[in-house]
Amino acid sequence: MKQIKDLDDMSRSITVDMKVKNLIEQFEGFKLLAGAGGLERKVSTVTVMDAPDIYNWMRGGEFLITTAYIMKDNPLELKDLVIKLNKNGASALGIKIGRFIEKLPEEVKETANSLNFPIIHIPFKYAFSDVIHPTLSKIVNAQAKKLMMSEKIHESFTQIVIEGKGNNHIVATLYGILNRNVAFKDLVFHRNYIKSKSAEFNKDIENLNLKDVLDKYFNYPVQIDGSLYGYIIVEENKNANTLEDLDKITIEHASTVLKLNIQKEISNHQIEQKYRGEFIQDLLLNKIKTIEEVNNRAALYGWKMDKGLVCLIVDIDDYKARYLSLDKTMGLEKERDIIFRRIAANMKTNFYNCFYTNYSDSIVFLIEPDVNPMKDFFMKLKKVSDEIRKEIRENSQFTATVGIGSFKASVMDIYISFIEAQKAVIIGRTIYGRDNTYIYEDLGVYIMLFDICQGEEANSFCNQYLEKLVDYDMMNNCEYTKTLRQLVKNDWNLKKTAEDLFIHYNTMKYRFSKICEIIDLDLNNREDKFKIELCLKLLDISKQSSLFMETSI
């Protein structure tokens, strides 16, 4: 901490920026004539007026000094000069009043006041060189000290990284140098690092949403190549702009080392996650045959899996289809990774013990119950899952379907819960639709349908009633299968189906009659209707099952 104190002492001992008010303080007899609102303007150089159009060569920050000889016959020309100097970024105008112009016209003063552009009286005793040389020396010396201070700050932060210290230490160092309440909002791992003496600041960082925090406080984005890692937050009125350049340089150095730390953490996380993921995947695929091996491998990560677990899958809807349809897939992969990190952070917040692994478009959790009775725990799982789906829907271009397996008292049986969670996703998405949460044990008869559709008998049953219709469509370029699906979806309502397909009701009646003829069933008969409904459900479940398995394991 001594290093921080030394940096703090040094930063207090130097004036980094020369301002207009410093000019008045530095030179005896300098007097402000107008434009008091501009005393905080920064001065970067001093120049002498040698032509009436000098303003064309202003680059910003100039203190322009003049005898006003050019305007001696018409002092009101100073008004136009002030306007143009201000427009071109000059900081102030110094005039030797009493030599060629006896008095500054009131109209010029009013203009300067309205623009907050300082006009300063320079006494006769000063030659221009008496003003230029000391001022430039002070500016150059301040810039040199500023560079030296910047280098020491950089070394201080770099040393933190070399010593392997974390983000808490970086934020504490920043707090020590700035002497202001600071925080870093980590958007990668969803953590807040705060160093503050203000209870209000702490509360705001922890409880306000990100937009409100950024609106209320000065903030500096920590990002690389468009990837936003988080924000450095400083307790400073965002519109006051009172942070000095050295403060901003300090924040930039802090940002640099935060980037390094986060990249290192991401890399370590990915390596660790790879090995943890392999262990969990071995559990899910029932590749581990003894409880001793489970315990030994779990112990490597400080885990205990002796209180029973439930498997939960969050599967991103349509991710694979969208991925294959785009030439540029990196954006989707980044968005998926962000979604996965948010889901993991949410689950860790809500459950004391949960272990997870990622697949291409799904994330699988093994969760230890922390609520009794078990019915209440499943209610909690459902509630958290719904919150996760809402967050995905509102913060990405995707939705997600969640499947929850049953509780298994032994970790050796967790693969069964995994299979059940997969079935819950497939069955729920097929029967009821995507963007929902499905608990395996609540799916009732549809579990039986899933098991049936995996057998050859189901395939034969479906072909018996639908193969002729599919073949007819292919041979005659028709859409009778699509029409039948829509008809079943609308509970056999011909009028509603005609409206949905944008066809005339008579056309719909003709199609209905033709479908009955092709498949050789009377679809006015309840039993025959049931056969078709069952065929379509079996086909859909089988199709979803194949798609899900392709993108999972």
In a domain, 107, yes or no: yes
- As a 3-state breakdown, the chain gives helix, strand, coil percent values, each rounded to 5, of 60, 15, 25
First-residue to last-residue Cα distance in the chain: 51
Tell me if 539 sits within 8 A of 450, measured CB to CB.
no
Q: How many CA atoms lie within 13 A of 224 on its CB side?
A: 11
Phi, psi dihedral angles at 99 (to 5 degrees): -90, -65
Instruction: Give Cα separations from 409 to 367, 370, 415 (angstroms).
Output: 12, 13, 12
Candidates 35, 30, 27; CA nearest to 118 is 35
Burial of 51 (0-12, 13-18, 19+ CB in 10 A): exposed
Whether 206 and 259 map to the same domain: the answer is yes
Q: What is the phi-psi region of residue 302: left when phi exceeds 0, alpha when psi lies from -120 to 50, beta otherwise?
A: left
Full-model pTM: 0.52
- Distance in angstroms (rounded) separating the CA atoms of residues 113 and 520: 94
| Domain final position from 138, 173, 190 | 138
Tell me if 498 sits within 8 A of 504, measured CB to CB.
yes
CATH number, residue 289: 3.30.70.270
Whether 58 and 109 map to the same domain: the answer is yes
In a domain, 152, yes or no: no
Pairing of strands 309-316, 362-367: antiparallel
Amino acid letter, 456: E
Whether 420 and 474 map to the same domain: the answer is no
DSSP E strand boundaries for 203-337: 217-224, 227-237, 309-316
Which residue ranges in the chain fall short of pLDDT 70? 1-17, 50, 144-150, 237-243, 272, 325-330, 450-458, 542-553
pLDDT of the residue at 451:
65
In a domain, 151, yes or no: no
In a domain, 158, yes or no: no
Whether 294 and 419 map to the same domain: the answer is yes
pLDDT tens digits, one per residue of 351-388: 988 999 988 889 999 999 988 899 999 999 999 999 99
Amino acid letter, 162: I
Whether 83 and 205 map to the same domain: the answer is no
Domain that holds residue 512: 452-552
| Domain final position from 413, 443, 473 | 443
Q: Where are the alpha helices (DSSP H) in 285-329?
A: 291-299, 319-325
Whether 432 and 346 map to the same domain: the answer is yes
| Domain final position from 443, 470, 503 | 443
CATH number, residue 73: 3.40.1390.20
CATH number, residue 519: 1.10.10.2840
Whether 203 and 66 map to the same domain: the answer is no
Number of neighbours of residue 147 by Cβ within 10 angstroms: 11
Residues facing residue 219 across a β-bridge: 233
In a domain, 271, yes or no: no
In a domain, 3, yes or no: no
pLDDT of the residue at 13:
39
The 3-state DSSP class for residue 227 equals strand
- Distance in angstroms (rounded) separating the CA atoms of residues 411 and 409: 7
- Distance in angstroms (rounded) separating the CA atoms of residues 513 and 157: 79
pLDDT of the residue at 71:
84
Tell me if 78 sits within 8 A of 33, measured CB to CB.
no
pLDDT tens digits, one per residue of 537-548: 777 776 665 555
pLDDT of the residue at 546:
59
Tell me if 314 sits within 8 A of 421, measured CB to CB.
no
Whether 296 and 401 map to the same domain: the answer is yes
Q: Give 189's contacts (C-beta < 8 A, 6+ positions apart).
A: 265, 269, 341, 345
- Distance in angstroms (rounded) separating the CA atoms of residues 82 and 78: 6
Whether 329 and 295 map to the same domain: the answer is yes
In a domain, 149, yes or no: no
Q: How many CA atoms lie within 13 A of 211 on its CB side?
A: 0
- Distance in angstroms (rounded) separating the CA atoms of residues 150 and 278: 46
pLDDT of the residue at 527:
86
CATH number, residue 227: 3.30.450.40
> Which contiguous run of DSSP H or E holds residue 34?
strand 31-34
Task: List, edge to edge, every strand of the sheet that includes 217-224.
Answer: 191-195, 182-186, 227-237, 217-224
In a domain, 155, yes or no: no
128-136 CB contacts, 8 Å cutoff, 24+ apart: 128/48, 128/65, 131/27, 131/46, 131/65, 131/94, 132/46, 132/48, 132/65, 134/26, 134/27, 135/18, 135/23, 135/26, 135/43, 135/46, 135/63, 136/45, 136/46
Could you check whether the bond before residue 373 is cis, i.e. omega within 30 degrees of 0?
Answer: yes
In whole angstroms, how large is the CA radius of gyration of the chain? Answer: 37
3-state secondary structure string, 81-136?
HHHHHHHCCCCEEEECCCCCCCCCCHHHHHHHHHHCCCEEECCCCCCHHHHHHHHH
Whether 59 and 103 map to the same domain: the answer is yes
Tell me if 182 sits within 8 A of 196, measured CB to CB.
yes
Number of neighbours of residue 443 by Cβ within 10 angstroms: 20
pLDDT tens digits, one per residue of 79-124: 998 999 999 989 999 998 888 888 899 999 999 999 999 999 998 8
Whether 59 and 102 map to the same domain: the answer is yes
Tell me if 486 sits within 8 A of 533, measured CB to CB.
no
Q: Per the structure, how many domains does the chain have?
A: 4
Whether 91 and 112 map to the same domain: the answer is yes
Amino acid letter, 185: K
